[in-house]
Amino acid sequence: MTPTEIRQIIRDFLLNELIRDESYPLKDDEGIISGGMMDSFALAELGVFVEEAFDVYIPDADLTVDKMDTLDLMVARVLQG
Amino acid sequence: MNFDLALLGIAAVGALIFNFFVPQSWRESFLLTVSVTALFWLQPPLPIRWSGFLLPFFLLFLVIWSWWLTKPADQRSMDRQSWQTLAIVLGLVLLLACVRYLPPGWRPTLNRPPGIEVVGALAALFALFMWLIQGKKVERFLFGMLIIIGLFVMVKTEWIVVQISTVWRTLANQNPSLAASTDIFWLGFSYIAFRLLHTIRDRQTGQLPDLSLQKFVSYTLFFPALLAGPIDRAERFSQDWDRMSELTADDWPRWQKGLTRIVQGLGKKFILADALALGLSLNPTVATQTDSVFWLWILLYGYAFRLYFDFSGYTDIAIGVGILFGIELPENFDRPYWQSTITAFWQRWHMTLSSWVRFYVFSPLSRTLLRRKPRPSPQLIVFVSQMATMIIIGLWHGITINFLIWGTWHGLGLFIHKIWSDRTRKWYRQLQTYPRRLLLWTWFTRFITFHFVVIGWVWFVIPDFASAVDLLGRLVGY
């Protein structure tokens, strides 16, 4: 899967399942957790989604604001494997 | 908290020696020595004979055994450096035991250690144990975690402590009928236990970096964080530790940074918190003596701020002292009472404890439930995970009904906020386009959040259920 495809799949998941507003203009470097649109539970949901969609396990200690705040960071973490 | 200015003075002198006189290659050993000494020195005196010495000794044993558990399975042999560290630690314990032979006025603590022959035998048994277990490739992570959790439950449950004290008093030829829950106060155990659980669990999941015995003991017992945290993470501590030999004594910005934090902490703890404690802060006695609803609220606000200034002031001092020794401990508070949601409060109050529980309880539990097929409803998963997390935070303070209720109160608050914020997210984003309305809403929710937390403190400050219910009734005029 290419980085562009991964980005699109995560973007769709964030907008449909977590932010719950498909029309929201989410930027690649926008602080999603620090901006109050995702909480700890949404991070756990994202962790399980990434496992199921890309077969990549993200350890609990990596599911933090520092490491997963933006779409860019999330894509980079998935690509890291 | 067992902390005074004399202790801080000693830490400051220690920092001067560490930076200006200790050769760079000896700094790690110096810090290990200071931290192990502090473990014994800071332990308050206890009524049961020798217990004030044996409890830190056993804690040291637990730490070193946990280090062995966190070694990768194929590297469990004690190398030369590990034996050297063990020798330094046990030699230090023997030296500390010698204070028994000093005249009472000369002893640094009121704890009188057992005779040197007893401590020598214990130290020999300790070394023998490490020699026997070295090289064993048995994975005992779960066993190790259960031992630590079991000890934690024991020392946090009043009834169990009284039973232990009764047995211990009998063995020590002391009157067992005098056994009390205050007989066993194990300095730093709550924090050390959580650091140990973190390292064992991270080894189990393969995330813990390899730590030498010297680094591991210094991490778990790092003396500024011994009394009341913060709960650092091993991999973060390790980075600072590895740079310790590069520290320069004339790094004035570092001195300024550390000393500024210490002064801020002293101001919070010894001026603000202590001033509030003089009569403007609720305690169980004052609660029964105050009839006025207005003054009860004032006293409760006073308690909320005293708790914050005391704890965050202590943390500032710990962080400041840490900086003087080249270790930047993590932050523990970030304007918690200024937050407009209970979720934001818990991201800024006792942050290292809440992060710990998020990593090791909330996240794994909610992910496990999310993976179940068929998946339970998200609301149910959030409820179970939030409740488990907050009840554990509550019981971490002590296994009592009031701490259980306090944890449940916050668990419910977080759950309700989660449901509310999910349903109003779109509305809230629209509100952000109206700055004045947003400001008004933020002040309103800040007020609600602060009072939710303050009401929760009733369960914290009042030790028994009936008195807490009575106080809550009187706060609303009943």
Q: Looking at the predicted structure, is the pLDDT value of residue B2 above 60?
A: no
Residue B113 or residue B340, greater confidence: B340
Q: What is the pLDDT of residues B177-218, one digit of tens each?
A: 888 888 888 888 999 999 999 999 988 888 888 889 999 999
Pick from B367, B418, B429: which is nearest to A48 by CB?
B367
Domain that holds residue A50: 3-21+30-80
Tokens of B414: 């977080």
Cβ–Cβ contact B195 with A under 8 A? no
> Per residue in B115-125, is it b (16+ CB within 10 Å) or e — as a string?
eeeebeebbee
- Provide the ipTM: 0.89
Cβ–Cβ contact B370 with A under 8 A? yes
Q: What is the pLDDT of residues B271-308, one digit of tens each?
A: 999 999 988 898 888 888 888 899 999 999 999 999 99
How many angstroms away from the CA of A19 is the closest CA of chain B? 8
pLDDT of residue B1: 44
Q: Looking at the predicted structure, is the pLDDT value of residue A3 above 90?
A: no
Contacts A41 to B, Cβ<8 Å: 366, 378, 381-382, 385, 418
> Per residue in B422-439, is it b (16+ CB within 10 Å) or e — as a string?
beebeeeeeeeeeeeeee
Whole-prediction pTM: 0.89
Task: List residues of chain A with CB under 8 Å from any CB of chain B.
Answer: 19-21, 24, 36-37, 39-41, 43-45, 47-48, 51, 59-61, 63-64
pLDDT of residue B434: 92
> Which residues, including other chains, have CB under 8 Å from residue A38's CB and lie 6 or more apart?
A14, A18, A19, A32, A46
Q: What is the pLDDT of residues B213-233, one digit of tens each?
A: 999 999 999 999 988 889 999
Q: pLDDT category, B15, cuts 50, 70, 90? A: confident
Chain B residue whose CA is closest to A47: B367
Nearest to B349 by CA among B360, B364, B338: B338
A24 and B429 within 8 Å at the Cβ level: the answer is yes
Sequence spans of domains, chain B: 5-246, 336-475
Pick from A24, A37, A63: which is nearest to B363 by CB?
A63
Q: Looking at the predicted structure, is the pLDDT value of residue B137 above 80?
A: no
pLDDT of residue B75: 67
Chain A residue whose CA is closest to B432: A35
Q: What is the mean pLDDT of residues B117-121?
A: 86
CA dihedral (B353, B359, B365, B367) positive or negative: positive
B360 and A43 within 8 Å at the Cβ level: the answer is no
Question: Scanning the structure block, which residue is given the tokens 């034996």?
Answer: B83
Pick from A37, A51, A60: which is nearest to B363 by CB?
A60
Give the torsion through C-alpha atoms of B225, B230, B236, B240, to 10 deg.
-40
Calpha distance B405→A32 (Å, rounded): 33
Q: What is the pLDDT of residues B403-454, one digit of tens each?
A: 999 999 999 999 999 999 888 888 888 888 899 999 999 999 999 999 999 9
The total number of structural domains that make up chain A: 1
B367 and A44 within 8 Å at the Cβ level: the answer is yes
Integer-rounded Cα radius of gyration of chain B: 24
Tokens of B142: 């779960």
Pick from A24, A40, A61: which is nearest to B362 by CB?
A40
pLDDT of residue B387: 95
Cβ–Cβ contact B425 with A under 8 A? yes
pLDDT of residue B73: 67
B359 and A21 within 8 Å at the Cβ level: the answer is no
CATH number at residue A52: 1.10.1200.10
Cβ–Cβ contact B238 with A under 8 A? no
Instruction: Give the mean pLDDT of chain B.
Output: 89
Q: Looking at the predicted structure, is the pLDDT value of residue B160 above 50?
A: yes
Q: Looking at the predicted structure, is the pLDDT value of residue B152 above 70?
A: yes
Nearest to B233 by CA among B318, B348, B351: B351
Task: Quote the percentage of chain A above a pLDDT of 70.
Answer: 100
> Best interface-test mutation with B: which of A40, A45, A46 has the largest number of B CBs within 10 A?
A40
Q: Looking at the predicted structure, is the pLDDT value of residue B76 above 70?
A: no
> Best interface-test mutation with B: which of A23, A41, A57 has the largest number of B CBs within 10 A?
A41
Chain B residue whose CA is closest to A17: B422
**DSSP three-state, residue B43:** coil
Chain A residue whose CA is closest to B429: A37
A21 and B371 within 8 Å at the Cβ level: the answer is no
Q: pLDDT category, B35, cuts 50, 70, 90? A: very high
